[in-house]
Amino acid sequence: DAKTTQPNSMESNEEEPVHLPCNHSTISGTDYIHWYRQLPSQGPEYVIHGLTSNVNNRMASLAIAEDRKSSTLILHRATLRDAAVYYCILRREEYGNKLVFGAGTILRVKS
Amino acid sequence: DAGVIQSPRHEVTEMGQEVTLRCKPISGHNSLFWYRQTMMRGLELLIYFNNNVPIDDSGMPEDRFSAKMPNASFSTLKIQPSEPRDSAVYFCASGQGYNSPLHFGNGTRLTVT
């Protein structure tokens, strides 16, 4: 499985933007970049995914570097409810439909 | 839609007993995944199915673990016999097609004493 590297933890202030980085230097051309998050005592929740172009949805934005070796998940205004573990995952068609989670980044949001 | 439904929410059993975890995926989804989560090992993919067929079971830890998907609306994960180290939260997730988002259930917290 293609590897991703994320910081162990990050801290943010409420109502400020948060940029969560992810490095994936061994990414291949067919790898999609997926982001999930897991709130305390809940199952993981899909956030966003993309291939090459930046993506926006109601939850977040995904900025993908031009060489695709890194990406950034952007929460535009962090709330206390955004405190969670955020996972950056590469999903490759030749590996079937697998979604393999790493350690993720623990995001703490201060009021 | 009710989402992915897992049962039971909590299970406490004694070592050596058989445990069966159940999952009902979202209607229309054709892929189903079983994960296990512990503090030490994080989220581990155990097995996944496409169109009710097991595709990759390389994450199943031992022969004590087995999973079935007899139809598109039901799957089970069985542990026989159970051991204390199997204590974890077990999640089921379903998706529709390649690269589609996965929807996770609320998990089953298993405690083996």
> What pLDDT is attached to residue B50?
92
Query: Is the confidence at residue A33, as pLDDT, over 90?
Result: yes
Query: With contacts defined as CB-CB under 8 Å, which chain A residues touch B98?
Result: 93, 96-97
Please tell me the distance from the alpha carbon of residue B37 to that of residue B14, in angstroms, as a whole number: 20
Res. A1 pLDDT band, cuts 50 70 90: low
> What pLDDT is attached to residue A52?
94
Task: Report, as an integer, the average pLDDT of B8-35.
Answer: 97
Note the pLDDT tens digit of each residue in B70-91. Answer: 999 999 999 999 999 999 999 9
Note the pLDDT tens digit of each residue in B86-106. Answer: 999 999 999 997 788 999 999
Chain centroid to CA B105: 10
B42 touches A at CB < 8 Å: yes
Say if the Cβ atoms of A103 and B104 lie within 8 Å. no
- Write the CB contacts of B81 (distance below 8 Å, at least 6 apart in sequence): B15, B16, B17, B18, B64
> What pLDDT is attached to residue A61?
97
Res. B1 pLDDT band, cuts 50 70 90: low
A103 token code pair: 């350690």
> What pLDDT is attached to residue B62?
87
Task: Report, as an integer, the average pLDDT of B65-71.
Answer: 97
Please tell me the distance from the alpha carbon of residue B16 to that of residue B40, in angstroms, as a whole number: 23
> What pLDDT is attached to residue A60?
96
Strands B88-95 and B74-79: unpaired
The residue of chain B with its CA nearest to that of A92 is: B99
B25 touches A at CB < 8 Å: no
Average pLDDT, chain A: 93
- Write the CB contacts of A19 (distance below 8 Å, at least 6 apart in sequence): A72, A73, A74
The residue of chain A with its CA nearest to that of B104 is: A43
Note the pLDDT tens digit of each residue in A39-85. Answer: 999 999 999 999 999 999 999 999 999 999 999 999 999 999 999 99
Please tell me the distance from the alpha carbon of residue A100 to that of residue A96, in angstroms, as a whole number: 11
B101 touches A at CB < 8 Å: yes
- C-alpha to C-alpha distances, B76 to A42, A63, A77, B35, nearest whole angstrom: 20, 38, 40, 12
Residue with tokens 């155990």: B46
Please answer whether residues A99 and A91 qualify as being in contact, where contact means their C-beta atoms are separated by less than 8 angstroms. Answer: yes
> What pLDDT is attached to residue A92?
82
Average pLDDT, chain B: 95
Distance (Å) from the alpha carbon of B106 to chain A's nearest alpha carbon: 5
Task: Report, as an integer, the average pLDDT of B17-38.
Answer: 97
Please answer whether residues A62 and A49 qualify as being in contact, where contact means their C-beta atoms are separated by less than 8 angstroms. Answer: yes
Neighbours of B40 (CB within 10 A): 6
Mutation target among B35, B98, B99, B100 for the A interface, most CBs of A within 10 A: B99
Say if the Cβ atoms of B35 and A101 lie within 8 Å. yes
